[in-house]
Structures are given as structure tokens and as C-alpha cells.
Amino acid sequence: MNPELEIIIKLLAALAVGLLVGIERGWSGKNEEEGDRVAGIRTFSLIGLLGGIAAILSEFTSEWILIVTFVAISAIAVASYIVETRSNEDIGTTTAYTKLITFALGAWAAFGFYMYALGTTAAVVTILSLKPVLHKWVRGIETVEIYAGVKMLLISVVLLPLLPNQGFGPWEAINPRWIWWMVVLISGISFVGYFAIKYVGNRLGTLVTSITGGLASSTAVTLSMAQFAQDQSAKSLFMGGVMIASSIMFIRVKVEVLIVNPSLISFLWFPMLVMFLSVLGGGIWLWMHRGQEETEPFVEIKNPFNITTALKFGAFLALILFLSTAMKELFGDEGIYLLSVLSGLMDVDAITLSLSRLAIEDISEDVAVFGIILAAMTNTLSKGVMFAFFAGFRESIKLIGLMFLSVFLGLLATFIVLF
């Protein structure tokens, strides 16, 4: 590329960074008088462009130009913050920090990382624009939830470096550090669903409740739906909610496998996609054929950052990890399959994580994939039976039939991929 043209593109990218941030900052302060705004579109555009110029000059001269310019921008940002605080007693530091970020992103873009810089800028603009929503969410967080999250974080930060990163017990099957990493992983995934259903799901109806609740615990959603269905003559709404929540389980499984052993995805993605679409499709069909008299359920899910819950899952994961190794050593591949079915009756996460880890060295990828699929199928059917137990088997025949259909389609997809 022509050197002059390349410099122009770099400067335009740096200018675009400042312009995007400036538009958001200008819009957020649109109600202020012209002279009252410390920084708007022009200021942030110039800061982004200055970052780009400093970065380009540093390539031809010395990196000290970039450092000195950044220090100067920091000093100006601090001075502006002091003036603004004295004039209107606003102690918010967001604009000051945003100036520094804009300069850094402008410089990053000028170094040739256009897409990274602009992508990060989009994230910054999103965070800035979500101020009212984020503040509303923070005000809704209860003290007990904050304490639970802080305790979980402290225990993880303190505990992880102390836990040995090696196998213990028979066949050296138990690795304490890996187990706790997985506890943190599952708690984090579940908390996304917990947070979503707490602040979004229950307010927007069964469809959204089932999706957000499925991220946290599809079993909890199933039990809640079954309890509500007991008092209703028509149950299609609740059966649809169970299937939609169950479909999210397949997404959880794929995320867990991607993190622990990505090589399994090439075998796993197609059967999981088939079952996800069939379960989700059945749930939407039931939801669309719901009765008008059916009342919207309220799903309650416990905070997954509760330390007791985390310890219980850690103990269960350690047990499944040990049993997986033991069943393999004692009974071969058939032992793995049997354990997958039994584990799937209670939980899919533990067996998914265990088999994904064992597939790295101890078992074949085909065995791990088939075991994970068996656990997912068993868990899907168990939710149908669980719902029918509380709501009535005759009334739940459509739910159980659709569950069996999705499992059958999943088996066909599995044999296509593995055999």
C-alpha cells in the first residue's frame, strides 16, 4: 500500500474512534448548555485524532512522543475534572477516564489495529450509553447477593493458587485445581441466567423466562412450571416453557466442551444442534398453542454464587470424575455409557466436564462424545417425566412425545457423525 495512503487510513480510523465516543458523550449531555459541557463531539474527535498522530510520530521518531502526549492529555483531563467538580459538584469520573481511553484507542488504531480498536470503541460506547440501565440493575441487587458473589470471588482467588494441580486418589482421577476451576465456570454460566431471569425473564412472559432460566437451571424451571401447571386445566404454556428451557441445556453443553476440550466440537455440534432445534421447535409449538386462560408462571432460581451450592457441585463433579475413570478401567466404554445415563438423570454439567477432560488423554473422542450425548438425552427425557409426575402423565403426553422425538432425531444424528 502507498505509505501516504496508509497514514491517511490510520488517521481516519483514529478520528472515527474519537467521533464515535464523542457522539455518545455529546448525546448524553444534550440537555446541558453549550458552555457547560466540558467535552463533546469535537473534543473527543480531536483526542482520538491526537492519539493517532502521536502513535504515527512515535514510529518515525521516539516512543517518548506517545508517552509525553498521553501524560499531557491526562493532565488536561484531571484539570477539566477539577474545574467541573467545583462548578457543579459532580464527582463523576466517567468523562475523564473516557478521554484517556479515547486517546489510547486512537493510538491503537493508528498502529494498524483498526478492527480491534473500532470494536473496543463500540464496546466502550455501549457501556457509556447503558448508564441508566446499569444503575437500575445495581440498585436492584440485594445485599445477600453481593456478599455471596464477593465470598465466592475471594475463595476462588485465594484457594486456586493453593490447590495442587495434580491427580490424587485411585488412577489419579481427582485434580483439585481443575475441579474448582470448573466450579467457577459453571457458577459463572449459571449466574448469567440467574441475573437475566431476575431482572428480565419473569417480567416478559414464559418464553423469555424459559430461555433465561434455562441458562441458570433448566431443572429449576421444570419444577416451577410443573407446580404452576398443577392448578391449571390447560398445560401447553408450561410444557412449552419446559422444552424451551431444556433446549438451552444443549447450548450450555457446547460452551463447556469448547472451554475444556474444543476438539470434541467437530463430532458434537451436529447432534447437539439437531436436538436443540427439535426441542426448541417443540417448545415454541406448544407455547403458540397455549390456552388464553393459562396464567404466566413466576420462576424462582437460587443464587449460583452461594458457596454451599458451589461446594456441593464441586463434590459431585469430583465423584463423577472418579467414577468416570473407574468405570472406564473396570468395564471399558460400556461403563462410561452407563455412568452417562445415570448422571444425566441428575445433572449434565458434571459428566460433560468429566468426559471432556478424560478425552484429552484417557478415553477416545468418540466415547466421550457419545457419553455426553447420552447424558443430554437422558436429562431431556427426565425433565419430561419430572413434569408429568407433578402435572399428570395423561395431560403431559404431548410433552413426553416431543421429548422422545427429539431424542430419536439426536440418536440418528449421532450415528451419522460417529458411525
Q: Which residue has the higher pLDDT, 8 or 274?
A: 274
Q: Is the pLDDT of residue 289 over 90?
A: no
**Is 321 within 8 Å of 351 (Cβ atoms)?**
no
Residues 7 and 150 in one domain: no
End-to-end Cα spacing for the chain? 51
Query: Tens digit of pLDDT for each residue in 169-204?
Result: 665 667 777 787 777 777 776 666 666 656 554 444
- What is the structure's pLDDT at 271? 92
Q: At residue 396, does pLDDT exceed 60?
A: yes
Last residue in a domain, options 137, 171, 192: 137
pLDDT greater than 90 at residue 129: no
C-alpha cell at 290: 397455549
Model confidence at 115: pLDDT above 60: yes
Q: Is residue 131 domain-shared with residue 145, that is, in the same domain?
A: no
The kind and range of the H/E element at 288 are helix 265-288
Within this chain, do residues 74 and 18 fall inside the same structural domain, yes or no? Answer: yes
Greater pLDDT, 198 or 105: 105
Residue 415 scores a pLDDT above 80 = yes
pLDDT recorded at residue 274? 94
Are residues 8 and 47 both part of a single domain?
Answer: yes
pLDDT at residue 200 in the model = 58
Residues 132 and 166 in one domain: no
- Mark whether 107 and 155 lie in a shared domain: no
Whole-structure pTM value: 0.64
The answer on 313 and 404 residing in a single domain is yes
Distance CA 283, CA 241 (A): 6
CA distance linking residue 294 with residue 280, whole number of Å = 20
Query: Residues 398-415: what's their mean pLDDT?
Result: 90
DSSP state of 5: H
Q: What is the per-residue pLDDT for 408?
A: 93
**pLDDT exceeds cutoff 90 at 329:** no
Percent over 70 (pLDDT), the chain: 71
What pLDDT, on the 0 to 100 scale, is given for residue 203?
Answer: 47
What pLDDT does 122 receive? 85
What amino acid is encoded at 239 in this protein? M
pLDDT of residue 202: 46
Give the chain's mean pLDDT.
77
Cα–Cα distance measured from residue 12 to residue 337, given in angstroms and rounded to the nearest whole number: 58
- Same-domain check for residues 254 and 289: yes
Q: Which three cell numbers stand for residue 50?
A: 491526537
Contacts of 106 (CB under 8 A, 6+ apart): 14, 15, 17, 18, 47, 48, 49, 50, 51, 52, 55, 117
Query: Are residues 248 and 162 part of one domain?
Result: yes
Question: Residue 226: what pLDDT?
Answer: 76
Quick one: what percent of the chain has pLDDT higher than 90? 9
pLDDT of the residue at 17: 86
At 148, the pLDDT band (50, 70, 90 cuts) reads: low
Domain range holding 61?
Answer: 3-137
Q: Please give the pLDDT value at position 69.
A: 87
Using only C-alpha atoms, what is the Rg of the chain?
A: 27
| Neighbouring residues of 217: CB distance < 8 A, sequence distance ≥ 6 | 190, 193, 301, 304
Does residue 131 or residue 281 have the better pLDDT? 281
**206, 88: one domain:** no
Predicted pLDDT of residue 169: 62
Kindly indicate the confidence band of residue 91, based on its pLDDT and cuts at 50, 70 and 90: low
From 107, 137, 167, give the residue that closes a domain.
137
Q: Choose one of 85, 115, 137: the last residue of a domain.
A: 137
Which is higher by pLDDT, 140 or 94?
94
248-266 pLDDT tens trace: 889 889 988 998 899 999 8
Bridge partners for 168 per DSSP? 174
Distance CA 391, CA 17 (A): 56
- Per mean pLDDT, which range of 42-51, 150-159, 379-388, 390-399 is the poorest? 150-159
Residue 54 has pLDDT above 50, yes or no: yes
> Between residues 371 and 222, which one has the greater pLDDT?
371
Same domain, 114 and 230: no
How many angstroms separate the CA atoms of 90 and 106, rounded?
27
Cell readout for 97 is: 477516564
Question: Do residue 165 and residue 216 come from a single domain?
Answer: yes
CA angle 244, 179, 365 (to 5 degrees): 70
pLDDT at 5 over 60: yes
Q: How far apart are CA 317 and CA 334, in angstroms?
A: 20
Number of domains into which the chain is organized = 2
- 123 has a pLDDT exceeding 70: yes
